[in-house]
Amino acid sequence: MKAVRTELRIFNKLTELQISLEGYEKALEFATLAARLSVLTGDQKQELVAFHRLASVYFSLNMYEMAEDCYLKTLSLCPPWLQSPKEALYYAKVYYRLGRLTFYQLKDAHDATEYFLLALAAAVLLGDEELQDTIKNRLDSICQSPLWHSNPLGCSSERARWLSGGSLAL
């Protein structure tokens, strides 16, 4: 197990190096290997870190659906009850990023709104009024956008079906 953890650290470092060099294709290889190894360690924190990096690499490669999937995976690794302000801040940041990704890249105003509302809930728990105002402004601009009116329902079920290989995602 010690060898797996060492290998995981190496792949994480190589991922970071490639990201800093803007070598995103290589970073994707290393981040994918790190994510696979992190599952083997049984350490949810390591898994969360690996999948967060993988999501960032996918985002950099304009693979937004895959980035969304990995960000959601990181959130599934967090405890269901927020135990600290640090966890609430993580939730707020990831849901905020998911909202931006979903609105600007995936062009889905309704699903973006859902993510921003979850980010807002975490910001309220934090008591961060500046973050709350930022999120509220984002929500207002989404609801006034042409994208909001052009698509009455969100597309998350279609994306989830695509991510699961075409079968119905539960």
User: In terms of domains, do 53 and 133 share one?
Assistant: no
Nearest-Å Rg of the Cα atoms of the chain is: 17
Distance CA 158, CA 68 (A): 13
Q: What is the pLDDT of residues 77-112, one digit of tens each?
A: 998 787 889 999 999 999 999 999 999 999 999 999
The percentage of residues in the chain with a pLDDT greater than 70, rounded to a whole number, is 89
In this predicted structure, what is the pLDDT of residue 137? Answer: 97
User: In terms of domains, do 43 and 127 share one?
Assistant: no
In total, how many domains does the chain have? 2
User: In terms of domains, do 55 and 5 share one?
Assistant: yes
**Domain span including residue 134:** 78-170
Cβ(119)–Cβ(99) under 8 Å?
yes
In this predicted structure, what is the pLDDT of residue 167? Answer: 40
Cα angle 6, 8, 12 (rounded to 5 degrees) comes to: 120
User: In terms of domains, do 59 and 92 share one?
Assistant: no
Distance CA 73, CA 48 (A): 8
User: In terms of domains, do 114 and 170 share one?
Assistant: yes
Positive or negative: CA dihedral 135, 140, 145, 149:
positive
Least confident of 38-47, 60-69, 123-132, 143-152: 143-152
Side chain identity, residue 1: M
Q: What is the pLDDT of residues 122-169, one digit of tens each?
A: 999 999 999 999 999 999 999 999 999 887 655 554 554 444 444 433
User: In terms of domains, do 93 and 165 share one?
Assistant: yes
